[in-house]
Amino acid sequence: MLNDFVEILKNWHLSKEIITLVVSMMPIFELRGAIPLAVLHFKMPMIQAYLISWVGNLIPVLPIIYFLEPIRKGLSHIKFVENFFKWLYQRTYRRGMKVMKYGAIGLTLFVAIPLPITGAWTGAVAAILFGIKPRYAFPAIILGVTIAGIVVTSLVALF
For residues 77 and 51, membership in a common domain is answered with no
Domain boundary among 58, 80, 100: 58
The dihedral sign for the CA sequence 38, 39, 43, 47:
positive
- pTM of the full predicted structure? 0.88
The domain of 76 spans 61-148
For residues 137 and 102, give the distance between their C-alpha atoms in angstroms, rounded to a whole number.
12
Residue 80 in any domain: the answer is yes
pLDDT tens digit at each of 159 positions of the chain: 777 887 888 888 899 999 999 999 999 899 999 999 999 999 999 999 999 999 999 999 999 999 999 998 999 899 998 999 898 888 888 777 767 788 889 999 999 988 877 899 999 999 998 889 999 999 999 999 999 999 999 999 998
